[in-house]
Amino acid sequence: MPQLFKLFCNLALLNNFLPVIFFQINELSHIQIPVMLMPDDFKANSKIKVDNHLFNKENMPSHFKFKEYCPLVFRNLRERFSIDDQEYQNSLTRRAPIPSDAQGRSGSRFHTSYNRRYVIKIITSEDLAEMHNILKKYHQYIVECHGNTLLPQFLGMYRLTVDGDETYMTVTRNVFSHRLPVYKKYDLKGSTVAREASDKEKTKELPTYKDNDFINDGQKIYIDEENKKMFLEKLKNDVEFLAQLKLMDYSLLVGIHDVERGEQEQPEEESEDNDAGEEEGTESDGGATGSPPDSPSNTLDSNRPLGPGEFDPAIDVYAIKSHENAPKKEIYFMAVIDILTPYDAKKKAAHAAKTVKHGAGAEISTVNPEQYSKRFYDFITTILS
């Protein structure tokens, strides 16, 4: 399957996201798809070195190196998440990715693809090492659950080197919709110590609120029993898997779309080139398929245009509709994020320090993985109504 990358080069650490560098790689187009992955595939990489690159030389470096990690593994993951590689390539390369003012753990920066379907995240070398550490078990888990998970859908992992400075990136499926705007956003850990949005955060156009904000807002997630059962089953399996990997400090990202407000505002549509229909498929199928929720209440006739408050579960795989008796009609987008934090010596020391400061009974975020997963799951069960 072709892996044709016109790589967007984003030098966030150097200069606030420089313009895109397009670079084309054909390595995998000549490789036959293997029947099964081998152990060496989880260590492999593909490297490209570019010298005297003259395109748009006023804005871009003339020398850089690009590495794609474990290309066959991520190609297999994309296939298991029912993501078409041509659509994936087009989404990342047709136009410049959109920078986000959101900031992740350890100051991580984000872009979304121009059509809002994928998230490009700048990660640390520690995150890269942990990703390598868990990749084989993560892949096995995705195979066993048939892609039916709330975990991040990791689709690619890359390194860009310019003047000796290395930038690491992952690409994941966007938790939020490419067409239904989110009006409220929460990052929930099941902890109450220092878990509220800062005054600076609240000045953003779309702030990320936290556990205490969620509680103080009197917020609830109103989904029916069928969706609740399926959601909690996936969540339980996911957090048990993360506990087995000794991972902690992850969050449930919750985005809320207000259907009535969405009807009053101009709906966000994907902006495509005039020839997009030929290259990427129609709006109804988006050129891609996904892992749709099992609930028939989320099923949609993909041959008709989407109306206000409607979504294609093949694309918006994390979306769930509010139930009929909810105070207002909403769409919820919920997924587990930031899963690459191991419970190592550093975290154990942080746990000890916070316990001394806040007391043994305080709900601090830094606890061992088993305790973290149980508390996290128990808290999420309380927010569903």
CATH of the domain at 193: 3.30.810.10
Among 113, 143, 173, which residue terminates a domain?
Answer: 173
Within 13 Å of residue 272, how many CA atoms lie on the same side as its CB?
Answer: 20
Per-residue pLDDT at 106: 56
Q: Residue 46: inside a domain, yes or no?
A: yes
Q: Which of 249, 258, 312, 316 is catalytic?
A: 249
Q: Are residues 248 and 124 in the same domain?
A: no
Q: Are residues 100 and 221 in the same domain?
A: no
Segment 339-354, tens digit of pLDDT: 999 986 455 444 444 4
pLDDT over 60 at 239, yes or no = yes
| Rounded average pLDDT over 25-34 | 58
Bridge partners of 50, per DSSP, are: 64
178 part of a folded domain: no
Residue 278 counted as domain residue: no
Residues 202 and 103 in one domain: no
> Is residue 303 domain-shared with residue 162, that is, in the same domain?
no
- Six-digit token string for 25: 């790689």
79 vs 76: CA distance, rounded Å: 5
Residue finishing a domain among 153, 173, 193: 173
Same domain (yes/no): 38, 85 = yes
pLDDT of residue 42: 95
% pLDDT > 70, the chain = 70
At residue 62, the pLDDT reads 61
Mean pLDDT of 123-138: 96
| Of 173, 122, 127, 115, nearest in space to 147 by CA | 173
Same domain, 127 and 208: no
pTM of the model: 0.80
- For 97-101, 158-162, 187-191, 277-281, which range has the lowest pLDDT when averaged over its residues? 277-281
What is the extent of the structural domain holding 363? 184-269+283-383
Q: What is the mean pLDDT of the chain?
A: 79
| Edge-to-edge order in the sheet of strand 184-188 | 208-209, 184-188, 251-258, 330-337, 319-321
| Predicted pLDDT at 271 | 46
Instruction: List Cα–Cα distances, 273 to 86, 268, 332, in angstroms.
Output: 16, 16, 30
User: Do 157 and 250 belong together in one domain?
Assistant: no
Q: Are residues 140 and 219 in the same domain?
A: no
Give mean pLDDT, residues 40-45: 93
Beta strands in the chain (DSSP E): 5-6, 24-25, 45-50, 64-69, 98-103, 109-112, 118-123, 154-162, 165-173, 184-188, 208-209, 251-258, 319-321, 330-337
Indicate the residue type of 199: D
**Banded pLDDT at 172 (limits 50, 70, 90):** very high
Domain boundary pick from 173, 202, 221: 173
What CA–CA distances, in Å, run from 50 to 294, 360, 365? 46, 55, 44
Q: Answer yes or no: is 179 within a domain.
A: no
Kindly state whether residue 194 falls inside one of the protein's structural domains. yes
Q: State the pLDDT at residue 111.
A: 86
The answer to whether position 275 is within a domain reads no
List the catalytic residue out of 41, 84, 85, 121.
121
Is residue 304 pLDDT above 70, yes or no? no
**Among this protein's residues, is 57 annotated catalytic?**
no
Q: Which residue has the higher pLDDT, 138 or 285?
A: 138
End-to-end CA distance of the chain, in Å?
A: 44
pLDDT value for 218:
94
Separation between Cα atoms, residue 14 and residue 99, nearest integer Å: 15
Q: Are residues 121 and 27 in the same domain?
A: yes
- Residue 237 and residue 166 share a domain: no
SS3 at position 221: strand
- Rounded Cα distance, 283 and 33, in Å: 29
249 given a catalytic annotation: yes
Same domain, 216 and 362: yes
CATH number for 34: 3.30.800.10
For residue 321, being part of any structural domain is answered with yes
Indicate whether 352 belongs to any domain: yes
The average pLDDT across 262-272 equals 63
Residues 194, 162 share a domain: no
**What's the structural domain count of the chain?**
2
Q: Alpha-carbon distance 132 to 143, whole Å?
A: 17
Give pLDDT tens digits for 68-83: 899 999 999 999 999 9
